[in-house]
Amino acid sequence: MARSDITLHKAESVFEELEQLRSAISRRAYDLFQGRGDVFGAPMSDWLRAEEQLVWKPAIELRRKDNEFEVLVATPGVDAKDLDVQITPEDVLIKADIHHMHTPDEGDIQLCEFNTGQLFRSIHFPDRVDPDHATAEYRDGMLRLHAPIVKAMPQKVEIRTA
């Protein structure tokens, strides 16, 4: 299968994106709570069900190798053009809208485990990276991101005497 280079978008922060997702899940969890007749006792299950309905969290692997981080993200069935990858010195955010539909001519669906909704995954790097030199490619349903680790150079601190 052909390899596709992915355009990385340098971002200042991923917190706004995370907050928007948390807010959407919260609204959905509240709708589920109300749908149960406002019966208390299962707020965590409402939250987890809302998260499951709205977000697909693909499997990832983060490894350190040769002074860079390599992130592998399993995204089978997602077109490379649909992936939105944002990177900061501390985090990477991977998003895509996932659509899976059935048509009557396909027959009666007995079981379907394909995801529909939003692929959303954020990964916090253990050390800072250089977003300007990060690269990503997509091949065979696997997103592979390489981000060089920034080496902190020791700085001499001047000591002032009073």
**pLDDT score for 137:** 93
Distance CA 17, CA 24 (A): 11
**pLDDT score for 1:** 40
For residues 125-142, one letter each, b for 16 or more C-beta atoms within 10 angstroms of the residue's C-beta and e for the rest, the string is beeebebeebebebeeee
Residues in a beta bridge with 74: 142
**pLDDT score for 114:** 76
Domains, the chain, ranges and CATH? 8-101+112-148 (2.60.40.790)
**pLDDT score for 104:** 80
**pLDDT score for 2:** 47
55, 68, 107 from 101: Cα distances, Å? 17, 39, 13
**pLDDT score for 62:** 97
Per-residue pLDDT of the chain (162 residues; tens, 9 = 90+): 445 667 766 667 666 777 777 777 677 777 777 776 666 666 667 666 666 666 778 899 999 999 999 999 998 888 888 898 999 999 999 988 887 788 888 888 888 877 677 888 889 999 999 999 999 999 989 999 999 999 876 677 788 887
Rounded to 10 degrees, what is the CA torsion of 28, 18, 3, 150? -160
CA-wise closest residue to 142 among 55, 60, 57, 56: 60
Rounded to 5°, the CA angle 31-36-41 comes to: 100
CA-wise closest residue to 139 among 36, 6, 39, 50: 6
